[in-house]
Amino acid sequence: MLIISNLSARVAGKDILKGVNLVVNPGEVHAIMGPNGSGKSTLAQVLAGREDYEVTGGSVSFEGRDLLGLPAEERARAGLFLGFQYPVEIPGVNNVYLLKAALNAKRKAAGQPEVDAYDFLALIKQKMKLMQMSESFLSRGVNEGFSGGEKKRNEILQMLVLEPRLAILDETDSGLDIDALKVVSQGVNSLRDPQRAVVLVTHYQRLLDYIVPDFVHVLVGGRILKSGDRTLALELERRGYDWVQESNAA
Amino acid sequence: MSAAARPIMSAPPASPALRSIEALWLARTAEAGARAADDPLEALRSQAMHRVMALGLPGSRDDTWRYTNLRSVLARTFVHVPDGQAPGAEDADADAVDSLVGPAARAATVLVVNGRPILSPPDGNGNNLLQISRLSDLSRPDIEKIQGQLGLPSDAEEARWALLNAALFADGLHVRISGALDEPLVIRHLLRSEFPNGLVHPRVLIELTSGASATVIEHYVDRGRHPPLGNSVTQLVLGHHSRLEHYRVFSTSAAAEHIDSLTVRQAGHSHCRQFTAVLGGGLVRTALHAHLSAAGAELDCHALLVGHEARQVDCVNIVAHDARDTRSRQTARAIASGTSRAAFNTKVVVNRGAVHAESEQSFRGLILSPSAEIDSRPQLEIHADEVKCAHGSTTGRLNPDMLFYLLSRGLDRRTAQTLLVYAFLADVLTGMSVACARAAIETALVPQLPDSKILEEFR
């Protein structure tokens, strides 16, 4: 589904990604862990198509298409979703309007008609219930005045409505209390199926207790230094990231 | 020849514009002849004209005109725009409906062509709460009653074109509201001329008596190949405890130039909500002079300045707090694309005795193309103690994080940008309580949002 080959990228003149390789198949959940500044978020943003992040080398194929050749909006319509680490507040743009516009953009790209207004509202309400969000959300601006936890729930809500083929969730667990973490995890798990894949970017192994990954990768200094199954996350928790760097140097 | 018809010596070297204006004045005076003696406003006109000639027309060196490029205006030789260019009945009906409120209910619609109100007598007089008259139809005692309101603008440079209006307005509209009007009153100004270099002086006086409340929408449009320069003056006079929501919306064509002056005088505990929206025109200068002259007077003014293509928009607000416990809030949002230029030049003056006055000025500008320019200059002059005054001004580009967020959800770039520009203007738009006017303004905005290619170039 996703094949990242030797990907390098630069942000504000600084090389951040220095040859990332990763293959994600349908049905898989991958966790990318790593210390601060290792390039995790950069990788997520580059995959989603952030234009001010300059790709300096390598290639990315998504369902057989050259992902890097597509603008951000086309990546989204092709079924790629980025759950932001810091979802931006956009006062004046209504949440529901955005959701509907996003869903219709995707449907249009797939040659489907626009969603019926009644069906759409029913869908939103059902997903909001799953995410335990209050109905006041419907009338508010995008993330406007949301707490950190509400913003993350909103990201997952958007994901549930858009049903992406590949979800990249950038530190979706940060800033969540344990109850919110459970709700968010439940949302992500509800989308797991053999046709979809999830890439979780996270600092902490805590999230992986709730969303159990098939693979864990450790990103340090812009490269994946180690990959393994979920036990790698537990080992990282015990031994810290220095251990990866040391064992790699050795 | 009457005394007033003699050429007036001007102190500063007269521009071609000023010389032609003097010629227009002389022609007018000669034509008015003996009738002028009976006109109670004649003395006012004459005084105003002498002062214009003595003081000259302002230029870019004058403080409140620094952002209005009047060079081409001052180089022009203005000509009289003959009457008889009123639209036919069908045209008038179409224009009346095709106003900002669409088919929605309204208290009345008045069409004003080049400053001359076209009134159908039965409509205007049916409603006791709402009296609409042509200034030229008012009896001498009526004129004398409002003479003080019509008054003479000050000598200040910012009021110079208003002074010229006082000298040369052909006719005007007088509106008196003496109760609660449930539906908006729509005043549609049509500027039209078949010949170049026309100059017209629309004038409107709106009075609200004590306790009255109303919504008034003034909408400026133009027709014809050579829209005349509009030099309009609207005066709002609010009685005690009255409430007014006033809109002035400029939807003129790219060839049109307009200089508008709005004065607001507020008695105690009156509340004025004012919306200025510049959605069209080649050059539009809007001035607002407000006097909060009695305790408890409150003014909220909001401006929506849309710079598009080569448009110049200059918004000058001067708000004077003359009494205690007065409040003013100014919100302005400007966007500029193409090679347009938008300016927001404001001053709040808290005069002595205006204790516990509160004022806020909030300006935000959004630059949408590399060749556009936005200037802002919030000023504050405080001569009283125990006042609360705040101002904030920021100008920038479209927020790339917001744009990326929307694109990452699959929205196309143009939709995303449109949404963000809307969001940026939302503070002002959401305050408009006339839903149909707001919707019409939003609709007019869309075609003026920049092309995505231009923005890409800019990034």
pLDDT tens-digit map of B349-405? 999 999 999 999 999 999 999 999 999 999 999 999 999 999 999 999 989 999 999
Those residues with Cβ within 8 angstroms of residue A221's Cβ, 6 or more apart along the chain or in another chain: A18, A38, A39, A245
Lowest mean pLDDT among A231-245, B84-98, B293-307, B329-343: B84-98
| pLDDT at B21 (0 to 100) | 95
- Residue A39 forms contact with B (CB below 8 Å): no
Whole-number Å distance between alpha carbons of B87 and B102 = 19
| pLDDT at A135 (0 to 100) | 85
Asked if pLDDT for residue B125 goes beyond 60, the answer is no
Q: Which two tokens stand for residue A250?
A: 């050795």
B-interface mutation test, from A73, A89, A103, most B Cβ less than 10 A away: A73
Would you place residue B419 in the very low, low, confident or very high pLDDT band (cuts 50, 70, 90)? confident
Whole-number Å distance between alpha carbons of B324 and B357 = 6
Asked if pLDDT for residue B4 goes beyond 50, the answer is no
| pLDDT at B139 (0 to 100) | 86
Residue with tokens 């409002």: B146
| pLDDT at A93 (0 to 100) | 87
Instruction: Supply the ipTM of this predicted assembly.
Output: 0.96
Residue with tokens 């928790």: A237
Report chain A residues whose CB lies below 8 A from the CB of B423: 90-93, 141
Whole-number Å distance between alpha carbons of A73 and A87 = 17
pLDDT tens-digit map of A191-203? 999 999 999 999 8
Q: Which two tokens stand for residue A96?
A: 């529901």
Q: Cβ of B410 and A82 within 8 Å? A: no
Q: Cβ of B422 and A105 within 8 Å? A: no
Helix axes A148-162, A117-130, angle to 10 degrees: 130
Q: Cβ of B410 and A77 within 8 Å? A: yes
| pLDDT at B95 (0 to 100) | 59
Report chain B residues whose CB lies below 8 A from the CB of A92: 422-427, 430
Q: Where in chain A are the domains?
A: 2-249
Q: Cβ of B409 and A158 within 8 Å? A: yes
Query: What is the pTM (predicted TM-score) of this model?
Result: 0.84
| pLDDT at B2 (0 to 100) | 44
Instruction: State CA B1 to chain mean position distance.
Output: 37
Out of A72, A91, A92, closest to residue B408 by CB: A72
| pLDDT at B56 (0 to 100) | 92
List C-alpha distances in Å: A131 to A81, A175, A185, B317: 18, 16, 10, 48
| pLDDT at B194 (0 to 100) | 85
Please provide residue B380's backbone torsions phi and psi, each rounded to the nearest 5 degrees.
Answer: -140, 130
Those residues with Cβ within 8 angstroms of residue B431's Cβ, 6 or more apart along the chain or in another chain: B273, B275, B300, B302, B331
Whole-number Å distance between alpha carbons of A160 and A163 = 5
CATH topology of domain A2-249: Rossmann fold (3.40.50)
Asked if pLDDT for residue B1 goes beyond 70, the answer is no
Lowest mean pLDDT among A39-48, A226-235, B173-182: A226-235
Asked if pLDDT for residue A65 goes beyond 60, the answer is yes
| pLDDT at B93 (0 to 100) | 54
Q: Which of A197, A200, A196 is nearest to A184 (CA)?
A: A200
pLDDT tens-digit map of B271-281? 999 999 999 99
Asked if pLDDT for residue A129 goes beyond 80, the answer is yes
Residues 95-114 of A with CB under 8 A from B: 97-98, 101-102, 105-106, 109
Please provide residue B29's backbone torsions phi and psi, each rounded to the nearest 5 degrees.
Answer: -65, -40
pLDDT tens-digit map of B54-87? 999 998 889 899 998 899 999 999 998 887 645 5
